């Protein structure tokens, strides 16, 4: 499945909610899908519901392509514990997502760009792979020369410390993944059980 490169507000309208890591969009202004057929009320099939939930999760974590997403599902299935919860934990501890959670970027797409352009350090070493997996105790920071980027400074002003599994001082360019989050701590409103069911069909 090709990578989505279109307007992000269309994704929010399609699913009726602002997805994790997406730009803020007033859903109430246009509470229906984009396009000329957006206001049609067709009853979705069971497959359509499962597919929609899977796509919501993919888009919530940025530009993860289907092939890569399937690898996350397979890895979660081979791990101990609930497949759905492990899947969420694998996605949540991606470097680009943690950069977003620490407030260094205001969207996951912006966080991904910071990483790929070499502005982010992990434990003092440059890492430019957005899917790099972090573990508890890993320290994420913005490179010294990159701390004057206007987008980073602006994003940090709007950051609110609400998640227990990441830690950063308010005006610091250094943060840490404290622990692997449990499912109820991850602020992504999807039904991961439906996603596992979709891939088990």
CA gap 198, 192 in Å, rounded:
10
CATH 1.10.1740.10 fits 94-179, yes or no: no
Closest by CA to 21, choosing from 191, 190, 193, 187, is 187
22's CB contacts (< 8 A; 6+ apart) are: 8, 11, 12, 59, 60, 107, 108
DSSP conformational letter for 141: E
Annotate 15-30 with DSSP letters as a single string: HTSPPTTSPP--GGGS
Class of the domain covering 8-90+186-199: mainly alpha
**Is 42 a residue whose pLDDT tops 70?**
no
- pLDDT recorded at residue 158: 84
Mean of pLDDT values over 159-181: 92
The pLDDT tens digits for 92-112 are 999 999 999 999 998 888 999
Listed in order, the ranges of the chain carrying CATH 1.10.1050.10 are 8-90+186-199
pLDDT class for 1, splitting at 50, 70, 90? very low
Q: Which two tokens stand for residue 180?
A: 């692997």
**Is 75 a residue whose pLDDT tops 90?**
yes
Listed in order, the ranges of the chain carrying CATH 3.10.290.10 are 94-179
SS3 69: helix
């Amino acid at each position: 499945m090709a990578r989505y490169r279109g307007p992000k507000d269309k994704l929010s309208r399609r699913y009726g909610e602002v997805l994790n890591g997406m730009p803020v969009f007033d859903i109430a202004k246009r509470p229906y899908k984009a396009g000329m057929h957006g206001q049609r009320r067709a009853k979705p099939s069971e497959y359509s519901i499962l597919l929609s939930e899977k796509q919501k999760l993919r888009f919530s974590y940025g530009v993860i392509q289907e092939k890569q997403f399937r690898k996350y599902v397979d890895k979660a299935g081979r791990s101990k514990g609930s497949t759905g919860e492990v899947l969420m934990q694998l996605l949540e501890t991606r470097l680009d997502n943690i950069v977003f959670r620490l407030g260094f970027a205001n969207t996951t797409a912006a966080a991904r760009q910071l990483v790929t352009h070499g502005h982010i350090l992990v434990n003092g070493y440059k890492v430019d792979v957005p899917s790099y997996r972090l573990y508890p105790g890993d320290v994420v920071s913005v490179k010294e020369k990159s701390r004057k980027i206007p987008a980073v400074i602006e994003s940090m002003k709007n950051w609110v410390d609400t998640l227990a599994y990441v830690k950063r001082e308010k005006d610091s360019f250094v943060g840490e993944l404290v622990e692997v989050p449990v499912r109820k701590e991850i602020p992504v409103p999807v039904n991961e059980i439906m996603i596992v069911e979709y891939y088990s069909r």
